[in-house]
Amino acid sequence: MSDVRIGLLGLGTVGAGVVKLLDSRRALLEERAGCRLTLAGVADLDTTSPREGIELSALPLTKDAQSLLADPSIHVIIELIGGLEPARTFILKALAAGKHVVTANKALLAHHGTELYEEARRRGVYLAFEAAVAGGIPLIRAVKEGLVANRILSVFGILNGTCNYILTKMTDEGLDFGMVLKEAQAHGYAEADPTFDIEGNDTAHKLQILIALAFRSFVDLKHIHTEGITRVTAQDIGYARELGYRIKLLAIAKATSHGLEARVHPTMIAAGSPLAAVSGVFNAVFVTGDAVGDLMFYGRGAGQLPTASAVWSDAVEIARRIAHGVAATGLELPSAGPGALGAQPMEMVRTCYYLRVMAQDRPGVLSKVTGILGDHDISIASVIQKGRATAEAVPIVLMTHEAQERDMRAALAAIDRLPDVPLPTTMIRVE
């Protein structure tokens, strides 16, 4: 039996999970790889802090990542450092040295994926990243290999467990955003600085990777419309429930006649839909193919062992190919196809909308608001007008029929200029 030697960069939460799974399931992993799996080196700047369930003294631990990259006996590098640098430099060095790479680094792939894919092709090595999107859910392989006979029509879903946990708690317990965020941080579901998650950036990175695979199109991050959940209030969640909806942070990509819709934002979805039932830190993604129809992928989108499970799915597949002499062709990497789609401007998107207008309690205000919407070709599906909420304003809640984003933005600007509307109008898109 041949020996495939592995170098691990990063012994944080996921890196420790990778070590734990190798220790506890070595026989199973080696049987499925058809070779011995040797952890030849582990590099981390912190070589002394205890990791639960791991005996550090038993590991080939070093602070010098370069020594692993330069070791000619190491076949595979697993990069779990995160961030853009030095992860990008390390991966490029590994590829240049003819080493295969497994990474969970979605930010790096979203910003520098094209460069890394091309370098892997040029060097004739594997670059795998199942763990970069949706944690333990085997989504990347399903899209890349399981749906090759399909033209993908849409991909949408919940890709950030932190945001889903916050919105679930707000929905179930009627709590405000700030209170739930503090609780999520206390439980370890949110980072000390949660900006990357709650502003939608993490979700946008994952969507960009999925777009490259599903639509064989490369969309720059700046062309993915991205909004977070910081402006979602308990009040809006309550109105959503009253109207038969739930609010989720969705990643949405759709092929249209005008190009590719690519957007991340809070979205109202019907309370009876499968996505509405996805709670806590779980992720769920719907993929629609022209041959297979609708598919749903559901599971833990983060966490030590679920993500480590995805890392090993890549590492074992690469080890199997090394052991059996299967050369990398580059065909498994994302590439722009002959029908690659450009990003459709957000202004052209058509969807339904929820609006909460905070207006002074005076006669004729509702007719002014609806008149402005009508002037911008936006028709109203339903209206809820509540009693006095504050001394300054009362909420007028409207659901619209499908309208164009450009028209809605122009209408909102006009509504917010009304003297009787002292506060900015809240708008949430409806799918």
Enumerate the active-site residues: 206
For 308, other C-beta atoms within 10 Å of its C-beta total 27
Cβ-proximal residues to 253 (8 Å cutoff; 6+ apart), any chain: 154, 155, 156, 207, 210, 211, 214, 215, 260, 261, 262, 263
Q: Which residues contact 342 (CB under 8 A, 6 or more apart)?
A: 217, 259, 260
Residue 428 bridge partners (DSSP): 354
Strand order through the sheet with 127-128: 61-62, 36-43, 3-9, 76-79, 100-103, 127-128
Using the structure block, give the residue that is written with the tokens 């430099």. 89
Residues 6 or more apart whose Cβ sits within 8 Å of residue 128: 100, 101, 102, 103, 314, 315, 317, 318
Q: Cβ distance 152 to 255 under 8 Å?
A: yes
Q: For the chain, what is the radius of gyration of the CA atoms? A: 24
Task: Output phi, psi for 24, to 5 deg.
Answer: -90, -20
Q: Which helix (DSSP H) or strand (DSSP E) does residue 162 occupy? A: helix 161-173
The candidate with the shortest Cα–Cα distance to 380, out of 418, 423, 430, 422, is: 430
Burial readout 165-192 (b: 16 or more C-beta within 10 A, e: otherwise): bbbbbbbeeebebeebbebbeeeebbee
Contact of 214 with 222, CB cutoff 8 Å? no
Cα 79 to Cα 129: distance, rounded to the nearest angstrom: 10
Check: CB of residue 295 under 8 Å from CB of residue 137.
Answer: no
Instruction: Quote the crossing angle between the two packed helices 13-33 and 304-323, to the nearest 10°.
Output: 40
**Euclidean distance between CA atoms 221 and 371, whole angstroms:** 36
CB 183 within 8 A of CB 325: no
Measure the CA–CA gap between 43 and 52, rounded to whole angstroms. 17
Within 34-75, residue ranges assigned H as helices are: 65-70
